[in-house]
Chain A
Amino acid sequence: MTAQFEPIVGRYMHLDLFGRKHRLYVEEAGEGTPLLCLHTAGADGRQYRALMNDERVTRRHRVIAFDMPWHGKSSPPSGWHNEEYQLTSAQYTTMILGIMTALELDRPILIGCSIGGRIALHLALEHPQAFRAIIGLQAGAHVDPYYDLNFLHRPDVHGGEVSAAIVSGLVGPDAPDAERWETLWHYMQGGPGVFKGDLYFYKLDGDIRGRVAQIDTSRCPLFLLSGEYDYSCTPEETLGVANSIPGSEVTIMKGLGHFPMSENPQEFLKHLLPVLEMIGGR
């Protein structure tokens, strides 16, 4: 039997965030321009494994994905059992900039999906000088709650099963079965209350509708890519954001849903690779 190893390398990083000690899991592959990847709510950095395994990406980019605190292999900080997890815009921004500093990333390209796409808009507005370019996947300025978030964390409902069930319809219809179910498995593995805590940012605290038009793409190029079948951040909402930001580039990805990088990576790469080429040429 011959084992095959992927080029992805994972490490644990100790970092003080928000005045508390954190142990964060970080994966990376490739060399070149840093490409910092932000996962969706309730999931983890595994969503980007296809990018990290694709030589077309890694021959020119150092692809980095970290699990946010409370997610994946990044444990919550000590004392977590006495609090309710709620992600805020301020915390999210501090976390990303702190990790960039810790990893000594010089003006990385940022790519984020869903909540990662939303914070990408915040960063494009507030810290454009820190990034070479920003790619927002499923990046809407706001999503109103459309179901009772309390069902995500209560003792008589399995949090992992209901989280996966809620997002399952967001996967595009053409997604290969293996990738579809792996994407959902990530949700099934989430910690109690973590998806709900992320959605506090997505549906309440992270609303950027009133400020998104102030993003200056001459300071940081902004690319918006959204899946055709996403009913959470719809193509119409993405187009609305793009129309309000002069100079932004928008693509609606046919057949894809809310998790393009993990649900159907081969189709997604057809859209991402030209964007990376464009950024490299600037």
Chain B
Amino acid sequence: MALIKRRVLKAEGNLQIFMANLRYFKEALAKLRTAGEAA
């Protein structure tokens, strides 16, 4: 959402699935970040 606010990222099309699962998208990305830091 920060990227969207800063106009770095644009989300287009039908966003229903993305928004309905936003928490889980973000948590999955956070897990990847943690895994990357550990590697």
Contacts and interface: CB of A to CB of B under 8 A. Distances in A.
B23 A164 contact: yes
B1 to A, nearest CB: 5
B15 interface: yes
Contact of B5 (A148, A161, A168, A232): A232
Interface in B1-39: 1-2, 4-6, 11, 15-16, 19-20, 22-23, 25-26
Contacts, number: 39
Interface string A153-182: 000111001101110110000000000000
A18 B13 CA distance: 40
Interface in A212-254: 231-232
A40 B15 CA distance: 26
Interface size class of A (residues with CB under 8 A): 10 to 19
A185 interface: no
Contacts of A85: none
A157 B19 CA distance: 7
Given A146-B4, A148-B15, A168 B26 contact: yes
A45 B16 CA distance: 31
A151 to B, nearest CB: 4
A80 interface: no
A157 B15 CA distance: 11
A5 interface: no
Contacts of B4: 146-147
A146 B5 contact: yes
Given A157-B20, A161-B23, A169-B2, 7 more contacts: A146-B1, A146-B5, A157-B16, A158-B20, A162-B22, A162-B23, A165-B25
Interface of B: 1-2, 4-6, 11, 15-16, 19-20, 22-23, 25-26
